[in-house]
Structure 1
């Protein structure tokens, strides 16, 4: 961030915090975040904050920073372990795009470390049990909510709404994706009965959860949240594509599925398995979109380009999962 933007940010933070002497001692762009930028701020008074703003190109399905800030506030009020939201700025002239500031928390979200570690969150079973409890708290947030009205009306049937949304996403692609279409048709034919929609994080997975040896320190990245079936979050976390090679530990590569279910309570395993297949289809569709951001020239980025190469592996897993479901 250049000196002019940093100066404007300092003045804005002084006004927002009511601290006329506030100074930014250090400002570092954190790793990760293909869609958003996260800047660590070391602020006078031994305060550690994070500024979250947009990258050059975003996904159409991603909420803006004002919406994500509202979601973070709602989650914080519901007792979900999230960084405390502090300030929101919708004026793009300050740093070049809207942003919000939250407290910085300790821990690691690095997936390759988390899935290999035996002590994060107090051990594998304790950790995923705690993740189940976090999801249960998220799922206590239910419509209608005036502060979350940007989410729109909840779907009458979250499963069929998912199928329709993904079909529309595939119809926008430059190239046909017959395996994804085939998987969607299977989901459509086997959709379970509808349940009342609740708030779903919609990206609750290893890599978006901060952990230390004592437990969960933060649930991050709320830009995809929506009203849906609570089992969607469980299926997303259990999807093989988010186990980062540690496939034996079905809950995010961290621990056993049964402990996750226990932590959440009231889980329908068959419904989770439906959403697990849905997760692979959705991630494949997102991966195609990510690659298009690079291919189009809007945002030249090696990570985005490489993301497109995971699609065949996801398609293979979709074929395997559908075959297994048909044989059951």
Structure 2
């Protein structure tokens, strides 16, 4: 995980370093260049507001630009304003940010202090559909989705018959019988730190993936509330032991795109918590970035499966590989065949 930073004299250089990861005119870079200039200023209202934000809420330097971009889009959505943030120059961003920080709007500042960048990519739940069919067949299961975002993943898993609930998916070398048929989710729980908010989720999308916004809204309209046995609760994944009704409750536990956000100590606590809410024989499925990956290196987005036996985790099995974080092309991992032998 990237080092957490507060406002420091070297903050401008750190933001510039992040900006140089991107091509010229990419909105991430133009915004980062403006933020770097503000960070280098001395005692201006914008500089003071940025410092106050980062002192109140230390965060990895590579999270600063995305959270500000998402907040800007969210503020416009809530105000009914349509602005093309993707086309703004660094100078236009500079003026926008100076006005934003100078106004010190309490609603916007609260979003900056409290919200995390969130994503929702429905295709990431396709591996859960496969695992559930392979491990449980038609048997009823209790499922937990940790960091559920819009809480639609389990809805799709329970409604899908043969991959049709995951549009844009290109399945390669996985036999259709592995994912044919419904998953009998008799009870499902999605947990997250924030209530499902489709406006916030779409605000977190960069302009070069604009089509994902429409897909998310269409998915929300189609799936929200379809299975009334799947509910949402606002619960921290690090505090599951505070809820005795969840102890040894779940057959299948899913964590999609969240582990990389945890520190090593938080990940240790998280896995301990998962062991407590898993049934004596359960499956844990995690889809995430590979550890230690560099943005300059090509990588596959990996789904790992682990059996949980009496709170203890068996070895990680490489279940599914995807060619990109949007999980458009999926292939079997090297341990795919081993899953069926461990029902």
Q: TM bucket by the smaller chain?
A: 0.3 to 0.5
* Larger strand fraction of residues: 2
Q: Structure 2 length normalisation: TM-score?
A: 0.32
- Tell me the TM-score normalized by structure 1: 0.33
